Amino acid sequence: MDPNSKKDISASLVALVGVVLGIVLTMTISSIIKSNSRTRVDPRSWQKLNVILQEVEKRYVDTVDVKGMTDAAVVSALAKLDPHSVYLPPQDLEESETELAGNFDGIGIQFNVPNDTAIVLEVIPGGPSEKVGLLPGDRLLKVDDKVIAGVKFPQDSMVRRMKGPSGTKVIVTVLRGHEEIPFEITRGKIPVHCVDASFMIDDRTGYMRLTKFSRTTYKEVSDAAVALLKQGMKRLIFDIRDNTGGYLDQALLLSNMFLSRGDEIVFLKGRNYAREDHKADGRGILQDIELSVLINESSASSSEIFAGAIQDNDRGVIVGRRSFGKGLVQEPVFFTDGSGVRITIARFYTPSGRCIQKPYGDDYGYDIYRRYEGGEMFAQDSIKVDSTEVYKTVGGRTVYGGGGIVPDVFVPMDTTRATDFFIACNRKTTQMRFASEMFDRYRDRLLAIDSFPDLEDFLDGLNLKGQFLDFAKTKDGIAPKAGEWEATEDYLMPQLRALVGRYSKLGDNAFYKLYLPVDDVVAKALAAPSKVETGQ
């Protein structure tokens, strides 16, 4: 063998032995450390988590982001519980609390963004913006020195820039006609309404739409109900579709308005939460009103408490599609850094004893997509009920637990009118931009309208069909193919009338009333009895 080769082999052996000795030495030292200085932790307590974080901060090779690690640990820990026990950073917590508080600090406008520029829809009466002269139809160009028009500025960022503590000032520059006008606005307390619309559909039937259960829900619904009763209401279509819930006490107060003395509303219980029953006191002002409640897959939490109380007491008819399925109650814990957690403390049970919480797992957030895929949105027979969770209403009807409120009257989604022309218009928000152009053209006349008959007369004289088809073709290059307009007209025209009508003084009341002709759920509710047949 070549002497040089022997040297190479010897060198390799020495290196290998060194590596092995290093590994052994490291392992031996680790073993000694393990055996002689194990940190005691109680696996049944939270001590282990604290010790790990402390050891990381003390030993880790680089600078540690303690706040980031703590937040991540909290998020991961809560994720092991249920989908509704969550950690909220300061900004998220503030936005969440503001949404349900019934008011916020801001400038007092409602706007939408049909293209790439925000357009004022409503200036809240008595609010800061009305006091300085902002008007519906104004285009928002800048907030202070920040350009927000024509730059794809996120809508939530616009809102954050306009909000701020009461008493502070902000300069909002708008485009009115061809003139740019800066307004210095002093922010103030702005009421947030949860009753979006309330009006009479016919001589005896009222309609009310509730979007959330905020601090002001009971008062707003009460005030709206009194006004409808004065107009002769004998029946109410109560719309809580897309209402994701809110405060429990407001759901109790709302249910109490419709139920008789002693009727069960809901009961709560949990591992550390003794059973708590809530019953009606018999003083509600709507106990004798015929009732239909509209729900869908986004009706959740407090909405389901209300719908469940009405259904289980056979008080009214539930119309629409199966509700979300959230049967858990959270309690907030606030921290001095502005963050907080919401921890599930109990389950709620409808009067029949059912918990409508749907099963939760890794795909919890995709349940709605599974409903589409399974055909539930289009066929009642495809609704999946838990046959082991069978309960009875006070009148003996069968209802099910384990996954939302199943309506008494099912209404499928309608996709038959979605022509290529209609889809193309939706994609380019042609309808909304057309409505804003109509407002620019007829601003003075629209702003003077404060009654439905006057609004109907005005819209009838606009030739909306011809103007919209011309707008779609010239602005967006969209034109219906043969037969498409005929298939779409009955659906699209009420939408156009509603969007234009919203710019009148009637606001959202105009929008929802004019949109009713294409609302299949409202139509089904009107056609169905408002009392259920019991004893089934």
Residues 6+ apart with CB under 8 A from 488: 417, 419, 421, 422, 480
Q: CA gyration radius for the chain?
A: 30
Angstrom distance (rounded) from CA 315 to CA 535:
14
Q: Among candidates 386, 351, 477, which has minimal Cα distance to 425?
A: 477
Give the pLDDT score at 471.
95
Tokens 């009875």 belong to residue? 392
DSSP 414: -
Helix (H, G, I), strand (E, B) or coil at 329: strand
Q: Which helix (H) or strand (E) holds 237?
A: strand 235-239
Angstrom distance (rounded) from CA 382 to CA 367:
14
Provide the token pair at 240.
């809580």
Q: Which helix (H) or strand (E) holds 122?
A: strand 118-123
C-beta pairs of 463-468 under 8 Å, 24+ apart in sequence: 464/438, 464/493, 464/496, 464/497, 464/500, 465/489, 465/493, 467/434, 467/438, 468/430, 468/431, 468/434, 468/492, 468/496
State the virtual CA torsion across 478, 480, 484, 487 in degrees, nearest 10.
Answer: 70
Rounded-to-5 percentages of helix, strand, coil across the chain: 40, 20, 40
Q: Are 282 and 260 in contact (CB under 8 A)?
A: yes
pTM: 0.84
Provide the token pair at 514.
């004019």
Angstrom distance (rounded) from CA 404 to CA 275:
21
**82 torsion bin: left (phi>0), alpha (psi -120 to 50), beta (else):** beta
pLDDT per position in the chain (536 positions), as tens?
555 555 555 555 545 545 444 544 445 544 444 545 677 777 778 888 888 888 898 899 999 898 898 899 999 999 899 999 999 998 888 878 877 776 778 898 988 887 778 888 888 877 899 888 888 888 999 999 999 998 888 888 888 899 888 899 999 999 988 889 999 999 998 877 899 999 999 999 999 999 999 999 999 999 999 999 999 999 999 999 999 999 999 999 999 999 999 999 999 999 999 999 999 999 999 999 999 999 999 999 999 999 999 999 999 999 999 999 999 999 999 999 999 999 999 999 999 999 999 988 777 888 888 898 899 999 998 988 888 889 999 999 999 987 899 999 999 998 777 899 999 998 888 998 899 889 889 988 998 999 999 999 999 999 999 999 999 999 999 999 999 999 999 999 999 999 999 989 898 999 999 999 899 999 999 999 888 877 54
